Amino acid sequence: MIKLVICMKIGIVCVSDRCSRGECADQSGPAIAECVHELCSAPEYRLVPDDAPQIQSVLKALADDVGADVVFTTGGTGFAPRDVTPEATLAVIDRTAPGIAEAIRAESLRITPRAMLSRAVSGIRGKTLIVNLPGSPKAVRESLAVVLPVLEHAVETLGGNTQSCGGNYSHV
């Protein structure tokens, strides 16, 4: 049996003061693109500084104007004073999806105790899933290994296809 994978619209947002100033190259955004290449051949990419209004603006644009199914952010989820990605995400989502961030943290704790310092969140804006990821390419790959197995189902459900949810095939 051949499993067909849906083609998703994916947004990638690198949140980094240094990358946005050109002081270093973003390595985490390309790591995300590499991990999702089977789901999306040309993700929408944005680079913003650690600035809540700019993060909010790009998240809204990718969800509302581009119509992304999923937006992955990378960076800005730690304890540093300018790490505001979770707050910016919470400001634009309609509903939280805490299980995603919890699952990433739980699996990451198997690798490093520093995972408990992640403040990453996940949530839904309209029909777009927004997932905060860490800022390192290694941690991005590890986090996506947790998320990718459920991503297709999440996108289908957000799109209104709930027939396979919880084994519930008939809706009365």
The whole-chain average pLDDT of the chain stands at 92
pLDDT digits (tens, 9 = 90+) for 8-58: 999 999 999 999 999 999 999 999 999 999 998 899 999 999 999 999 999
CATH architecture classification, 10-158: 3-Layer(aba) Sandwich (3.40)
**First-last CA distance in the chain:** 30
Query: Would you list the domain boundaries of the chain?
Result: 10-158
Band of pLDDT at residue 6, cut at 50, 70 and 90: low
Global confidence as pTM: 0.92
